[in-house]
Chain A
Amino acid sequence: MAGPVPATEQMPSRLNMMAPMIPFALLWLFKPLLPSWAIVPPKSCLGGCGTIEGLIPFVDWVNAGIQFLRSYEIFGLFTFRDITRSIARGIDVPLDFTEALLYKGFGAVGPMPWVMIVGLMIVFGLYLRGWRLALLGGGTFFYLSLFSLRGIWELSMKTLSAIAVSVPLAAIIGLLIGIAAAKRQRIAMVVAPMLNILQSLPHFSYLIIVAIFFGVGAKAGVIATVIFAFPPMTRLTMLGLREISSEVREAGIMAGCTRWQMLYKVEIPSARSALMLGVNQVIMQCLAMVVIASFIGQPGLGHDLLTRLQNLRLGQAFEIGVAVVLIAVTLDRFSQALVEKEPERIKDGPLWVRHPYLCAIALIIVGSIGLASLTEAAVQLPKEYTVSISSYLDAMIKFITTSLFTPLGILRDFLLVYVFMPTKATFQSMPWVAVMALIGCVGWKLGRWKLALTVMAFVFFIAASGYWVRAVITLYMVFVALCICAAIGIPLGIWAAKKDRRTKFVLGLCDTFQTFPSFIYLLPAVMLFQISDVSAIFAIVVYATIPITRYTIFGLRNVPSQIVEAALTSGCTERQMLWKVRMPMAFPEMLLGLNQTLMFALFMVMIAGFIGTVDLSQEIFRALSFNDGGKGLVIGLCVSLIGLTADRLLVEWSNQQKKRLGFAN
């Protein structure tokens, strides 16, 4: 039940919480007495890890598996790779169509002119919600057209043509798996852990495998994107279908539905809002992959962004980043509006009164084709009319980095010497058996044997893989980043949750930072903090503060109103209301936020490898350049398991807190 916990109960619970630390502390304290295999796992990579065996040769196993799938001929006819290769060719079919529509043109007929796309976006915006959405849609594509001095328009069309294929594909695959899992418990038991792994696996770890089995180019980019984007759809499908009330199902049975009709006519429509939220998530995930998909051949904004960055053209890269954000926000808002769109009554009257939007669309299509045949300028804005503000941006970045370099240099050296290096040394001095004991004890405390054994198995995998030493460095960076994220995100969330306007502003900021390609702030980070752990952690913090801020706001604003009223009538001051009522009630949500922050940090720590860190990310890049698919995947799993361990523990803790606070679930 809600309310303060009596003091008598509090004391032993504090002690209780410390209990799982005891074996860990003892093992660490008596480290000199431990045998050497208990401190660093045997056969681990210590310095540079060229080829490393590990306690259990996972890497060799995966590579043998890949080799088998490449060369073993099923029925002596074709290999698994032949199957995947022809699936890839199948993806080329819709891709050819969207590419032709958006930028290649169909032989004699050109691609869609920019005036047509802008016009259509305005009409769709008006139809779905009103003039503000129309302004966003039209404005976004106008930006793409206007800022096209360096070809942003065509690059965006390339990106959009891939997105137009990946989004439906990911949504359909996610939906089908979700339905299967919601219907059959046994499938769900396999699917749920798979989703967890897929969502926490660093992208770089499966790029080589995608390249081997699906080739390279736009189609491979689509496949890598789909792998990353479909899990949220599956999750939300499972959730949506499970939450349908039994009355609805019974009504379906009474109406004599077959199983197919039940699914198609009853269940899917009832789960509509969850499914559309899933589609929404798929869109955001697909856009998050724009840059990474270009590693295996996706043309478009992502590849250009990387090129500009490698040549230190930050201003130009920034313009491309803005294009990605605008596309993401536009697609997001349009898909949300589509969910919330209520069916309208058709007015009586002539055709243009009954179907005003259809008429407008027809008019725009005819008009823009007419315009396009008159002047090239309607097809693609001529270069003379396009602009770029990249030189001003460059000057601004230069000004900021040079004027802040010296003061931040003092901060950098202070942090390095007094905070980061000691923390790193502390992490590195922990024997691996001690870490495993700690994780096991916490698991036992929260979920008894089942949870304890699961998380201990996760930790053991990392130790046995041979990458323990590197994983500890990753863990240290994530841990430090997590502390800083919480120190920034929680106060920010508290501040923002107080007023509606602030909430809106901060959430908008969160959206922007989440879709802005994170590669862009790696280089300014280096300019400010040099190649050091500080710049890597800075980049992680910029990105990973988002979820903890979001969840804090969400938790604080969603405290049940009866509780707030009860607190008010008992005479709480504003301060008491925050610290004694809202914060404790929001605590479970904040734990989930912390969990998400960790996931974001693990994602970003891999990207921070581009700065130059001596952790797992460096080894993933090494694997990437030596085409070592097995090593990439195994290191990826190590990263993923760090995330899953924390995920299991934090989610379980959050659930228990929720129960204690009386949130029924």
Chain B
Amino acid sequence: MSKTLKTAVIGAALAAFTALPMVASADSSGTIKIPTHNWSSQLVGAEVVGELFKMVGEEIEYVPMDSQTVYQAMADGDIDIVHEVWEGAFGASFTKSLETGNVIDLLTHDAVTREDWWYPEYIEEVCPGLPDWKALDKCSDMFARADSGGKGVFIGGPVDWLKHDAEKVEALGMNFVVRNAGSAGAIWAELDAAAAQKKPVVIFNWSPNFIGAKYAGKFVEFPTHDPKCTSDASWGVNPNALYDCGNPATGYLKIGVNKDFEKNHPKAFKVAQQMNFSGPDIDKMANYVDTDGLEVPEAAQQWLNDHESKWKEWIK
């Protein structure tokens, strides 16, 4: 008897505790939540997007977030807009969030992204024929390490970026093994240490990012990407395998929004529909911070000052 009473009391207390804040903050959809990640162009871009939304009278809040977890958060309505959806790195997470029906694929920027194998330029002196992939394969022993069994080591991105590098190595019959770094930072640390000694290294890299400004280098040229390459085994140099080609040299960069964004923030939604970053825009946003040493808010202000005619169109 007393047990039921106890449960009832606890239940009532819990209900009271939960009802209180529900009442207290009934209107939490008032501010637009923009995520900030850990690379410069995104941070500056987020600040730019935020400033534009402020201009049309919205309130905004920046939420620092992991760049993969953010898609769950956007599907749950905790994040309103992701303005840099990279096809290569986040395509899978983004597609999964679209499947929930809670996220809208709003638009594709003009900026295209490229992600592929990349090497610092000094390697060309010791390995003739680059950037062709066959030349790279001939020099594979240069990239071998103590624990790679005589094969060259390619430093790939984290496994959750879903690159098909291992399949590519297999399909093209290359004498390489893929070693996945755990984070972008680890890739740069590898590059930095190797470049200081002019040691051979081949890494996963993408553009635009700050590396281009800091180290001279080139993407490895694989057989040009074709949609058939990843769906039809008979296409390409290896008639029996998929992925016998490079990554698309023109990956998309998209804006995704939560499905309620239009309803809750119609003014900001209109701005978002007009937005469009070009390749040079993304480059500049990164370079203001990475090469000129500006802090993120200063860099955003700089971009806004330099491109007034552009964004004036968006907030009309």
Q: A-side interface residues toward B, CB under 8 Å?
A: 48, 82-83, 86-87, 89-90, 92-93, 150-151, 207-208, 211-212, 215-217, 294-299, 303, 306-307, 309-312, 398, 401-402, 405-406, 412-413, 416-417, 420-421, 522-524, 526-528, 530-533, 608-614, 617-618, 621-622, 624-627
A474 to B: closest C-beta gap in Å: 14
User: Which of B14-22, B101-109, B228-236, B299-307 participates in binding chain A?
Assistant: B14-22
Asked if B182 contacts A627 (CB within 8 A), the reply is no
Residue B56 lies at the interface, judged by CB distance under 8 Å to chain A: no
- CB pair B68–A312 under 8 Å, yes or no, is no
Name the contact of A401 in the complex, choosing from B24, B181, B193 (C-beta under 8 A): B193
From B69, B71, B186, B192, A531 is in contact (CB under 8 Å) with: B186
Q: Interface-forming stretch among B1-9, B58-66, B240-248?
A: B58-66
Contacts A625-B93, A627-B96 hold; do A405 and B69 have CB atoms under 8 A apart? no
Known: A310-B183, A310-B184, A402-B197. A530 touches B190 (CB 8 A): yes
B69 — which chain A residues lie within 8 A by C-beta?
207-208, 211, 216, 295-296, 624-625, 627
In the assembled complex, which residues on chain B have CB atoms less than 8 Å from the CB atom of A614? 180
CB distance from B115 to the nearest CB of A (A): 16
Contacts of A87 in B (CB 8 A): 17-18, 21
Task: Given contacts A310-B185, A523-B186, A531-B182, list 14 more A-B pairs with CB under 8 A.
Answer: A82-B18, A90-B18, A93-B21, A151-B295, A216-B63, A216-B73, A295-B66, A303-B64, A306-B38, A307-B37, A311-B290, A532-B145, A625-B92, A627-B93
A567 to B17: give the CA distance in the assembly, Å: 63
Please tell me which one of the listed residues A82, A532, A624 contacts residue B147 in the complex, with CB atoms under 8 A apart: A532
Query: Is A526's CB under 8 angstroms from B62's CB?
Result: no
Count of chain B residues with Cβ under 8 Å from any Cβ of A?
Answer: 60
Q: Are A405 and B182 in contact, with the CB atoms below 8 A?
A: no
Partner of B160, one of A531, A608, A610, A621: A621
- Name the residue among B19, B146, B181 with the largest chain A CB count within 10 angstroms: B146
Q: Are B25 and A307 in contact (CB under 8 A)?
A: no
8 smallest CB-CB distances across A and B, nearest first, come from A625-B68, A303-B64, A625-B160, A413-B146, A526-B189, A612-B182, A90-B21, A627-B72
The answer to the question of B36 belonging to the interface, with a C-beta cut-off of 8 Å to chain A, is: yes
Assess the B189–A312 pair: CB atoms within 8 A: yes
Among B32-79, those with CB < 8 Å from A are 33, 35-40, 43, 61-66, 68-69, 71-73, 76, 78-79
- The answer to whether the Cβ of B217 comes within 8 Å of any Cβ in the partner chain is no
Is B179 among interface residues, defined by CB-CB distance under 8 A? yes
- In the complex, what distance in Å separates the CA atom of A294 from the CA atom of B197? 35
Which residues of chain B have C-beta atoms less than 8 A from A527's C-beta?
189-190, 192-193
B197 touches A406 (CB 8 A): yes
Tell me the complex Cα distance, A533–B210, Å: 28
A609-B183 Cα distance, complex, nearest whole Å: 8
Residues on the A chain within 8 Å of B126, using CB: none
B158 contacts A by Cβ under 8 Å: yes
Interchain CA distance A307-B210 in the complex, whole Å: 13
Nearest-neighbour CB distance to chain B for A17, whole angstroms, equals 35
Q: How far is the CA of A294 from the CA of B210 in the complex (A)?
A: 23
CB distance from A360 to the nearest CB of B (A): 36
Q: Which of B19, B65, B197 contacts A296 (CB 8 A)?
A: B65
